[in-house]
């Protein structure tokens, strides 16, 4: 039975769920997304990926904030059967959540109650978690604390970066969302309360976190590189330029932290060293370290910061 769905989402992560709703005959009657932003250079106006995709699929798009005057009335007039929220980027006001007989279903990229909050994927990698997943949960007033109807798991290996993991979880989340809707429609599913005592929080990534501290162990630096690739990128200074590292491996060498140990971009840390495999100069594309070294001389024994 097709549902009257309102979809709320903004980044690329949201699109597989939106696409699968359409494919399964639950095409949204309206999509809410973040408002277009002006790009700094040239002041070009950029729409969210969800905005662009929705227009292509001929779906009404709304970009006003939910607490904007009259938006609550506009929303109620849509008379949806279900609201699906996937990385929308706004808190749903309590007045919306109190609308009788209306379920707000959220695709959250963690195994709740672990990693509630804004950056669950990055925090899972930074923490060295061996697995994560998606939770299909009912939105309630408290952040990411509502009961879930389904959880699906996925492994995190030592080379997984956040970009790769986001792509996998976005697809897994879309499949789990449709399965959850089917369970709700068939009345075979039930919502499971979270245990608040087991909750952990994935706070927003701050800019200063992405700078590499060579005084940390190589293992911890690798986790940071993986967690912040491709964005915002774990970085260090070289010749007064920021260099982002996108891939590296641990090498069993030692030296004063931050010291370049050879001519292949092997850098000493507090314990062991890392060999840089892929990097990115400010404003440039990601390249292999070998290509970087062809045009940039990095002297052995210099100390990076």
Model pLDDT for residues 51-108, shown as the tens digit of each residue = 999 999 999 999 999 998 899 999 999 999 999 999 999 999 999 999 999 999 999 9
| pLDDT for 167 beyond 80 | yes
Mean of pLDDT over the chain:
95
pLDDT at site 32: 98
pLDDT, tens digit, 9 for 90 and up, residues 7-19: 999 999 999 999 9
**Higher confidence at residue 268 or residue 37?**
268
Residue 126: what pLDDT?
97
What is the model's pTM? 0.94
What CA–CA distance (Å, rounded) separates 5 from 31?
9
Q: For residue 42, what pLDDT is reported?
A: 61
> Pairing mode, if any, of strands 201-202 and 37-38?
unpaired
Q: If pLDDT is split at 50, 70 and 90, which confidence band does 283 have? A: confident
Peptide bond between residue 193 and the one before it cis (omega within 30 degrees of 0) = no
> What is the distance of C-alpha 302 from the center of its chain?
36
The answer to whether domain 5-202 and domain 208-295 are alike in fold is: no
pLDDT grade, residue 41 (50/70/90)?
Answer: low
pLDDT of residue 95: 96
Residue extents of the structural domains in the chain:
5-202, 208-295
Give me the mean pLDDT over the 241-269 stretch: 96
Structurally, at CATH architecture level, domain 208-295 sits in Roll (3.10)
- Token representation of residue 228: 């912040």
Instruction: Answer whether CATH 3.40.50.170 is correct for domain 5-202.
Output: yes
Residue 221 pLDDT greater than 80, yes or no: yes
What phi and psi values does residue 234 have, to the nearest 5 degrees?
-80, 135
pLDDT in tens, 94-153: 999 999 999 999 999 999 999 999 999 999 999 999 999 999 999 999 999 999 999 999
Q: DSSP letters along 7-54, please?
A: EEE-SGGGHHHHHHHHHTT---SEEE-PPPEE-TTTT-EE--HHHHHH
**How deeply is 89 buried, as exposed, middle or buried, from its count of CB atoms within 10 A (0-12, 13-18, 19+)?**
middle
């Amino acid at each position: 039975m097709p549902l009257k769905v309102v979809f709320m989402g903004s980044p690329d992560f949201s699109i597989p769920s939106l696409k699968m709703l359409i494919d399964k005959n639950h095409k949204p009657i309206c999509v809410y997304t973040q408002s277009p932003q002006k790009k700094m250079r040239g002041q070009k106006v950029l729409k969210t990926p969800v905005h662009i995709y929705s227009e292509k699929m001929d779906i009404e798009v709304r970009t006003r904030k939910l607490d904007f005057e009259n938006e609550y009335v506009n929303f109620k007039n849509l008379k949806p059967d279900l609201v699906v929220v996937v990385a929308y980027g706004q808190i749903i006001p309590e007045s919306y959540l109190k609308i009788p007989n209306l379920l707000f279903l959220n695709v959250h990229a963690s195994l709740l109650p672990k990693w509630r909050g804004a950056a669950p994927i990055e925090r899972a990698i930074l923490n060295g978690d061996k697995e994560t997943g998606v939770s299909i949960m009912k939105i309630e007033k408290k952040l990411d604390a509502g009961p879930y109807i389904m959880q699906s798991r996925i492994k995190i290996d030592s080379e997984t970066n956040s970009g790769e993991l986001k792509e996998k979880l976005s697809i897994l989340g879309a499949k789990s969302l449709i399965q959850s809707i089917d369970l709700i429609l068939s009345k075979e599913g039930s919502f499971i309360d979270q245990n608040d005592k087991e909750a952990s929080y994935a706070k927003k990534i701050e800019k200063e976190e992405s700078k590499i501290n060579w005084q940390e162990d190589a293992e911890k630096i690798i986790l940071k590189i993986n967690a912040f690739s491709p964005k915002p990128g774990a970085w260090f200074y070289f010749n007064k330029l920021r260099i982002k590292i996108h891939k590296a491996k641990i090498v069993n060498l030692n030296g004063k932290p931050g010291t370049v140990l050879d001519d292949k971009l092997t850098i000493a840390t507090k314990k062991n060293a890392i060999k840089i495999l892929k990097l990115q100069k400010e404003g440039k594309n990601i390249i292999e370290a070998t290509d970087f070294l062809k045009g940039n001389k990095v002297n052995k024994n210099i100390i990076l910061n």
